[in-house]
Amino acid sequence: MASIGQSVRYSRSVDTVRYDVAPDAPARLILAHGAGANQHHAFMVRAAKTLAASGIEVTTFNFDYTSRGRRAPDPKEALERCFREVVRAEAARSPGPLFLGGKSMGGRIASQIVAAGELGADVRGLVFLGYPLHPPGKPTQLRVAHWPNVNVPQLFVQGTRDALGTVEEITAHVPKLGAPATIHPVEQGDHSFAVPKRLGVSQDEVFSRVFEAIASWISAALARG
């Protein structure tokens, strides 16, 4: 079973928590939080614990602005620098396959640093928990300019009624990516994967399906080499 989480710090005092599994865990995932909540948000902790229990070592971290108690995210350069530091530190700590991802903004930043290259890590794939394709109500302000340079497989976990990009919208832009992509739709899910009660599906079940899909996809990606 996964531990509660062990706090670790890197050279710039990035607030980081590692959810440990067996030392020879075949997969490691660095998971970044979204713009409105830090790594200690209930969803982030649940995701990390559940994936760790399935055999995936998960590392979460706080972007610098949350550690400073600010609500507004830093400029993208600072966000990318922070994420890149965690990736390089994790790669130095233990060489081997890494997966990167995050909730909303965290996933977008993960894709940007992969597209930019020079990470010095064996990144095998990206996991997006609600990719923020565009701001709410602004479908033409797309965040896909870097997609042709994303050269590793991706998993999009996306709600079918996500105001920041529906499954249909994501699907329309997938051909722009530089590597294959898989879409796991959350039927009637919003940006937080919340579904209407009328569906008769509990939120716990929705989350369980999401985490199972991630674990299965990572396992398959490793098997493909």
Q: Is 157 domain-assigned?
A: yes
Largest CA distance in the chain: 49
What ranges make up the beta strands (E) of the chain?
Answer: 6-9, 15-19, 27-32, 56-61, 97-103, 122-129, 154-159, 181-186
Q: Is 204 domain-assigned?
A: yes
Q: Is 155 domain-assigned?
A: yes
* Residue 220, phi then psi, degrees to nearest 5: -65, -40
Q: Is 132 domain-assigned?
A: yes
Environment class of 28 (CB within 10 Å of its CB; exposed 0-12, middle 13-18, buried 19+):
buried
Q: What is the domain-level CATH number for residue 34?
A: 3.40.50.1820
- pLDDT of amino acid 23: 64
Q: Is 176 domain-assigned?
A: yes
- pLDDT of amino acid 16: 86
- pLDDT of amino acid 208: 96
- Cβ distance 221 to 214 under 8 Å? no
DSSP 211: H
Q: State the residue range of the domain holding 181.
A: 6-224
DSSP 198: G
- Cβ distance 87 to 185 under 8 Å? no
How many whole angstroms separate alpha carbon 134 and alpha carbon 138? Answer: 6
- Cβ distance 128 to 156 under 8 Å? yes
Q: Is 206 domain-assigned?
A: yes
Q: Is 134 domain-assigned?
A: yes
- Cβ distance 133 to 164 under 8 Å? yes
Ranges of residues in the chain with a pLDDT under 50 are 1-4, 11
Report the number of distinct structural domains present in the chain: 1
How many whole angstroms separate alpha carbon 30 and alpha carbon 23? Answer: 16
**C-beta atoms surrounding 1 within 10 Å:** 7
Tens of pLDDT along 66-90? Answer: 988 899 999 999 999 999 999 999 9
* Residue 168, phi then psi, degrees to nearest 5: -60, -45
Q: Is 1 domain-assigned?
A: no
List the alpha helices (DSSP H) in 15-139. 42-53, 64-67, 76-93, 105-116
- pLDDT of amino acid 173: 97
- pLDDT of amino acid 98: 96
